[in-house]
């Protein structure tokens, strides 16, 4: 089966749903949308099973001028172990979330449009991971940004924009403005990153004369290029990755992006799109391997973001915002891993994170649904009684993300921490601290939502329906058992995942004595368990609602305000100023026109309409010319 089928199926779904929405009454649109993603999943599965060690490269058609080696760049798809894995995650998790959405979005008037956008997103994400060149990857890159924009702003006029009640309408309008602003912010911040990505491409082209990834991979190791150039290119690409993955300093759009419907948060802002930055760096491993400084930057950006996200998550009160900051933090882990050249560990965490974070978001969505759009954790509690199935699923997710043994997060986080320990002790300490904080805020989330007494306003919350339970169940199973794909050697495993990915991405094996490994593992587990126990203790003391750090954490370390003051406000002011200047250029010219019209005024005085005035002018002119002529004749003739 050709690779282009992968993005083609969801694209067809998108085209049908957006062009002919009337053809799909009721839930038909949801089923069509899910079916196209399932079809892609089948293709991805088939390609995975039929995969060999040589990557598949299928060229489609000529696209961009002169951007391959002495030729025009073609659009084409490229499938190696990394992209096969990503394609499976995207279509698999994507399919589950589509099914979930059929129920979750069932009552939304824009149901069809929602699935159109979701399909569009899946198609773009598949193009991103399957692209055989950086520009084509950029298509998917901005395409997912576009989809993200559309979906964050899905309720662009609020959810009650047609309400006749004045208060309801006013609230809806405010919600609309907030949603729209969040969407726009996401797109613009992504664009900042995209400029970095573009500059990286330009520099790569300057250095190597091609933007095709296979050609680059073949050319880079042997080429005689100054290291500074590679470092700079890698830093440019890092800017791109930072923008897409919500890393510091371009992180503030990601928490705001929770304005979108919950399945969107699960699919785009947790499981897939935001991990594109990790994918980009892993895909460019042949460059980062040659750029130690840039790699260190990647690792530190990741480490600091992990810390930032964890600190910001400590005292959030929105059920989705906690998860959003958690995503920021976990993405930081992945960056840390790939920055330390532990690509396999980073991608493995990407995989397990996709499972447990999607699971957490979807169960949060189920709760929000049950409580009629209530999102404040202080108005929840005790949901365990009302929604036992969802509770179990959510618990699996919490245990996974906290790194409790046998759950998937344990294995992936452990690998990252091990890599950090060998490369940079300082980063290891940061990582370990973040692990503790993670366990705490996830424990806080769990206890506030599911335990204690019910504080909600809805009399009898209902358990989710079957369509929601199935994806939750599957994801819970994956979040629990996914870690066994990559059991490390000292635990008696065979590094199956590392070996698989190692066929495409070189794995830098860290030689750590087994004893040290055990020690590291114990420390990590201790951090996870400690964090959960800390949360439990606070829960017992009923002081959990007010997390540590107070306002500083709630306001996400005031980063938003700093940006608005440092960048937003000045650039608006400059725009204002330039506009005035531009009209002023006009003004200046108008002034010149007036000045030149002043002698014109004299002339118009002369144009008095009196015939004789005109005649005198004529006479004077004639007399002047003839007089000059006569004088000249006298002078010359004499």
Partner 1 sequence: MAPTAYYIALSGLLFAIGMIGVLTRRTAIMVFLSVELMLNAANLALVAFARAWGDLTAQTAVFIVMTLAAAEVAIGLAIIVSIFRKRETTNVDDLAGLKG
Partner 2 sequence: MIHLMIFLPLLGSLLLLATPKRWRDEVAGFVAALTLGLGLLIWRGGGAEVFRVDWIPALGVTYSVALDGVSLTLALVTAFMSFIAVLYAARRISNPGTMLSLVLAMETGLLGIFAARDLLLFYVFFETALLPALLMLAIYGKPNRMRALVKFAAYTLFGSLLMLLSIIGVKAYGGSPTFALADLIQNPVKGAAQTWLYLGFLAAMAVKLPLWPLHAWLPDFHEQNHDSGVPDVMGTLYKVGGYGLFQFGLPLFPDASEQLRPILMGLAAFTALYAAWIAFRQTDWKRLIAYAGLSHMGFVALGVFSLNETATIGAMYLLAFQNVYTGALFLAVGMLQERVGSVHTRVGGVMTQAGALGGMTLALWFASIAVPGLAGFVGEFSVLLGAYQVQPWLAFIAGLSTIAAAAYALTAFQTTFWQGRPLGAVRVADLRHTEWLVLGLPLAVAVFFGVYSAPALNLIQPAVRGVLAGLGGQ
Partner 3 sequence: MIAFILLGALTLVGAVITVAARNAVHAALGLVGTLLSVAGLFASLSASFLAATQVIVYAGAIMVLFLFVIMLLNANAPVRGRDPVPFVRELAGIGGVVLAGAFAVLAFTYKDPRPLAEGVAATRGGGAGPVGEVLLTRFLLPFEAVSILLLVAIVGAVALVNRPAPQPDGVADTGGLTLPTSPDLQSEALLPEKVRA
Residue numbers at the binding site for partner 3 (CB under 8 A): 608, 610, 612-613, 616, 619-620, 622-624, 626-627, 629-630, 633-634, 637
Is residue 607 near partner 2 by the rule CB under 8 A? no
d(CA 299, CA 294) in angstroms, rounded, equals 9
**Distance of closest approach, residue 616 Cβ to partner 1, in angstroms:** 6
CB 276 within 8 A of CB 331: no
Q: Which partner in partner 2, partner 1, partner 3, none is near 517 (CB below 5 to 8 A by kind)?
A: none
Of 593 and 620, CB closest to partner 3: 620
Q: Which partner in partner 1, partner 3, partner 2, none is near 206 (CB below 5 to 8 A by kind)?
A: partner 2
Is residue 18 near partner 2 by the rule CB under 8 A? yes
Applying the rule CB under 8 A, the residues between 172 and 201 that interact with partner 2 are 172-173, 176-177, 180-181, 183-184, 187-188, 191-192, 194-195, 198-199, 201
Check residue 568 and report its DSSP letter: I
Q: Which partner in partner 3, partner 1, partner 2, none is near 107 (CB below 5 to 8 A by kind)?
A: none
CB 326 within 8 A of CB 357: yes
For residue 18, give the nearest of 116, 108, 129 by alpha carbon. Answer: 116
CB-side exposure of 450: number of CA atoms within 13 Å?
A: 24
Alpha-helical segments (H) within 291-382 = 292-313, 319-339, 343-370
The residues binding partner 1 (CB under 8 A) are 603-604, 607-612, 615-616, 619
CB 446 within 8 A of CB 390: no
Helices 514-540 and 388-402 meet at what angle, rounded to 10? Answer: 140
Is residue 563 near partner 2 by the rule CB under 8 A? no
Q: Phi, psi at residue 561, to the nearest 5°?
A: -70, -40
Q: Which partner in partner 2, partner 1, partner 3, none is near 67 (CB below 5 to 8 A by kind)?
A: partner 2
For residue 63, give the nearest of 15, 151, 127, 153 by alpha carbon. Answer: 127
**Distance of closest approach, residue 100 Cβ to partner 2, in angstroms:** 25
Q: Which partner in partner 2, partner 3, partner 1, none is near 620 (CB below 5 to 8 A by kind)?
A: partner 3
**Distance of closest approach, residue 591 Cβ to partner 1, in angstroms:** 23
**Distance of closest approach, residue 103 Cβ to partner 2, in angstroms:** 24
**Distance of closest approach, residue 594 Cβ to partner 3, in angstroms:** 25
**Distance of closest approach, residue 13 Cβ to partner 2, in angstroms:** 17
Is residue 22 near partner 2 by the rule CB under 8 A? no
Applying the rule CB under 8 A, the residues between 25 and 64 that interact with partner 2 are 61-64
Of 202 and 628, CB closest to partner 2: 202
Report in angstroms the alpha-carbon separations of 252 from 242, 424, 438, 558.
11, 27, 19, 10
Place of tokens 């805020």: 441
Applying the rule CB under 8 A, the residues between 65 and 94 that interact with partner 2 are 65-67, 72, 75
| Long-range contacts (CB closer than 8 Å, 24 or more residues apart) made by 108-114 | 108/261, 110/154, 111/27, 111/29, 111/30, 112/17, 112/21, 112/24, 112/29, 113/17, 113/18, 113/21, 113/154, 114/151, 114/154, 114/261
Q: Which partner in partner 3, partner 2, partner 1, none is near 630 (CB below 5 to 8 A by kind)?
A: partner 3
Q: Which partner in partner 1, partner 3, partner 2, none is near 123 (CB below 5 to 8 A by kind)?
A: none
Q: Is the bond preceding residue 508 a cis peptide, omega within 30 degrees?
A: no
From residue 516 to residue 555, the character string flagging contacts with partner 2 as x (rule: CB under 8 A) and all else as - is: ----------------------------------------
Stretch that binds partner 2, among 149-157, 312-320, 464-472, 499-507 (CB under 8 A): 149-157
Applying the rule CB under 8 A, the residues between 222 and 261 that interact with partner 2 are none
Dihedral angle of Cα 581, 584, 589, 593, to the nearest 10 degrees: -170
Dihedral angle of Cα 532, 537, 543, 547, to the nearest 10 degrees: -30
**Distance of closest approach, residue 592 Cβ to partner 1, in angstroms:** 22
Q: Which partner in partner 2, partner 3, partner 1, none is near 633 (CB below 5 to 8 A by kind)?
A: partner 3
CB-side exposure of 521: number of CA atoms within 13 Å?
A: 20
d(CA 29, CA 113) in angstroms, rounded, equals 9
Judged by DSSP in three states, 424 sits in coil
Per CB under 8 A, residues contacting partner 2 are 18, 61-67, 72, 75, 113, 135, 138-139, 141-143, 146, 149, 153, 156-158, 161-162, 166, 169, 172-173, 176-177, 180-181, 183-184, 187-188, 191-192, 194-195, 198-199, 201-203, 205-206, 571-572, 574-576, 578-579, 582, 585-586, 589
């Amino acid at each position: 089966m050709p690779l282009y089928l992968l993005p083609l199926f969801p694209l067809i779904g998108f085209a049908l749903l957006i062009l002919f929405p009337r053809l799909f009454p009721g839930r038909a649109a949801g089923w069509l949308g899910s079916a196209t993603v399932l079809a892609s999943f089948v293709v991805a599965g088939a390609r995975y099973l039929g995969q060999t060690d040589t990557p598949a490269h299928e060229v489609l058609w000529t696209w961009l001028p002169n951007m391959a080696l002495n030729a025009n760049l073609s659009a084409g798809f490229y499938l190696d172990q990394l992209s096969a894995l990503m394609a499976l995650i995207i279509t698999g998790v994507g399919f589950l979330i589509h099914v979930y959405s059929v129920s979750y979005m069932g009552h939304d008037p824009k149901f069809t449009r929602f699935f159109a956008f979701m399909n569009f997103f899946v198609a773009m994400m598949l193009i991103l991971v399957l692209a055989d060149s950086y520009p084509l990857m950029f298509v998917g890159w901005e395409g997912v940004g576009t989809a993200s924009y559309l979906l964050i702003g899905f309720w662009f006029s609020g959810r009650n924009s047609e309400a006749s009640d004045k208060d309801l309408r006013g609230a809806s309008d405010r919600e609309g403005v907030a949603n729209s602003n969040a969407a726009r912010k996401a797109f613009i911040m992504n664009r900042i990153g995209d400029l970095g990505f573009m500059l990286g491409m330009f520099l790569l082209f300057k250095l190597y004369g091609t933007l095709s990834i296979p050609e680059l991979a073949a050319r880079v190791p042997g080429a005689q290029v100054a290291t500074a150039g590679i470092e700079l290119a890698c830093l440019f690409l890092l800017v791109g990755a930072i923008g897409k993955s919500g890393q510091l300093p371009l992180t503030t759009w990601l928490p705001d992006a929770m304005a979108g419907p919950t399945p969107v948060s699960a699919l785009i802002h947790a499981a897939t799109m935001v991990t594109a930055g990790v994918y980009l760096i892993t895909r460019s491993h042949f460059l980062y391997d040659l750029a130690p400084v840039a790699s260190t930057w990647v690792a530190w950006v990741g480490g600091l973001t992990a810390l930032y996200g964890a600190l910001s998550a400590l005292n959030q009160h929105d059920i989705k915002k906690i998860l959003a900051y958690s995503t920021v933090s976990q993405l930081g882990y992945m960056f840390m891993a790939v920055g330390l050249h532990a690509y396999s560990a980073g991608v493995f965490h990407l995989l397990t994170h996709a499972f447990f974070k999607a699971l957490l978001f979807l169960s949060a969505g189920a709760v929000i649904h049950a409580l009629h759009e209530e999102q404040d954790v202080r108005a929840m509690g005790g949901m365990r009684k009302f929604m036992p199935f969802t509770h179990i699923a959510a618990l699996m997710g919490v245990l996974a993300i906290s790194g409790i043994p046998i759950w998937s997060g344990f294995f992936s986080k452990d690998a990252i921490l091990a890599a950090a320990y060998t490369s940079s002790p300082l980063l290891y300490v940061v990582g370990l601290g973040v692990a503790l904080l993670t366990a705490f805020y996830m424990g806080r989330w769990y206890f506030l939502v599911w335990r204690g007494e019910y504080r909600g306003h809805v009399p009898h919350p209902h358990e989710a329906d079957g369509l929601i339970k199935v994806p939750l169940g599957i994801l819970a199973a994956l979040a629990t058992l996914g870690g066994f794909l990559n059991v490390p050697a000292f635990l008696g495993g065979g590094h199956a995942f590392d070996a698989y990915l190692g066929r495409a991405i070189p794995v830098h094996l860290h030689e750590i004595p087994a004893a040290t490994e055990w020690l590291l593992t114990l420390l990590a587990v201790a951090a996870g368990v400690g964090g959960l126990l800390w949360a439990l203790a606070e829960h017992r003391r009923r002081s959990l609602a007010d997390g540590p750090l107070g306002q500083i954490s709630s306001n996400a370390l005031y980063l938003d305000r700093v940006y608005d003051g440092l960048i937003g406000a000045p650039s608006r002011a400059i725009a204002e100023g330039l506009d005035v200047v531009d009209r002023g250029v006009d003004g200046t010219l108008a002034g010149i026109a007036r000045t030149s019209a002043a002698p014109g005024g004299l002339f118009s005085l002369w144009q008095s309409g009196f015939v004789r005035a005109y005649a005198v002018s004529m006479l004077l002119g004639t007399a002047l010319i003839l007089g000059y002529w006569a004088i000249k004749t006298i002078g010359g003739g004499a």
